Structure 1
Amino acid sequence: MSVLTLKLAGPLQSWGATARFARRSTESAPTKSGVVGLLAAALGVARDDDAALAQLARLRFAVRIDQPGTRIRDFQTARDPDTGESMPLSERYYLADAVFLAAVAGEDPLVTRLHEALLRPVYLPYLGRRSCPPAHPVELGVHPGDDPAGVLGAEPWRASEWYQLRRGGEQHVTLTLLGEAAAGTASPGAVLRDQPLSFAPRHRRYALRPVHTSTVTVSNPRARTPRPAPAQDVPAQRIAAHDPTSHLDPA
């Protein structure tokens, strides 16, 4: 078993788990279905290849929020290409200036294939939507083990430099970590309809997936060095006893 880590950062991201019709929302962190879709695109898997998707869906998944970003809303209009009639106004949400670390764990041959595919992807990866390209290559490397959350807990803080400087007064920062919960361990309501079953355009299907939320503490590489404590005042009696000419011979 091994773990593949990814850095998901870009000007805009959008990870919808409940997007329907004219309102396309985004979760506060990348979804498993979105990351599996990114990996499938890198491999060149067809959207209707449910067998290949099932293999990827069995990967264990975790994500860490290194920089939460800002949620923004956009309105989009469109016209029917055949009739020219206006389509309903579409309301879409994005995360701006966000940075996440994601990890998937699986059998060594599959994880190696995914790592190689990300280095030479068949289809370019995107961050939830095709309009959201990553700012840089997403792959970070392969690690031994079978616990994606544990690997993410040991990763250095990868937020943007300006964001780390903004929190320069903190030597350590606490980050949210979202992992896949074992059966019966998720808190009530901590589920997402995010387990991919089919990406076929005519019958996309997702199952519920339990989510376990925890936190990890990492060092801030751009923390400001604490200033030394000011020197204490010299007692008045010591000042009065000092004579700078005491070492001179009398004239």
Structure 2
Amino acid sequence: VIGLLDVFTPDETLDDFTDLRCSGPGLGPAPTPCLCPQDLKPGNLAVNEDCELKILDFGLARQADSEMTGYVVTRWYRAPEVILNWMHYTQTVDIWSVGCIMAEMITGKTLFKGNDHLDQLKEIMKVTGTPPAEFVQRLQSDEAKNYMKGLPELEKKDFASILTNASPLAVSLLEKMLVLDAERRVTAAEALAHPYFESLQDAEDEPQAQKYDESFDDVDRTLDEWKRVTYKEVLSFKPPRQLGAKVSKETAL
């Protein structure tokens, strides 16, 4: 989920306005519709000396449930529903990516390292097992259905045998995050409530973004008009701290 904690521009006039800088949180519980970063991978994440994590690239972010291509996320961290090119999917694509990243941090190696998108799917199912028939029937692509039906039966592996250095709680969490069926995959809110994060949980510092208002996306404006509106918003924006609220109560983009 993308929220806005602060925004500014180094440009002093509207005529000079070409750049802006945004700061905001990443995944977390939020009402739908919301935005999916959709390109989560180790190379797009940064951690500072205070252990604060930032997502560096929102260039491929999309509104949840919009029609999105199956070739967006870097292959090794790509959710199965993206590989299968479902036309509609939700922010749980990012939960899958986070699960892959967490597993890589624990083991020191990429969890699913496919050579192409079909090989990637095979690598995933070597761990998750092949899905039941009702899952295959929900696929919108006939090609995907036929491909899945032609795969040999594979049993789900014991995650503890793969994540040998992980604690039982970490294994439990990743088993819920790395679920082949997106409808049964844990949400961000459910993941944060998992006992694995018990020592870090703080009910007063777990933000819920306000509902994203997309109405302005459909307004027909010229480039100069968009520039003027954006510049005005940047100058008028007040960070939550200045409004007397906690930083965690961010304003949704």
Q: TM-score range by the shorter chain?
A: under 0.3
Q: Larger % of helix: which?
A: 2
Q: TM-score, normalised by structure 1?
A: 0.24
Higher relative contact order (CA 8 A, sep 6+): 1
**Higher percent of residues as strand:** 1
TM-score by length of 2: 0.24
- Determine which structure has more spread, i.e. the larger CA radius of gyration: 1
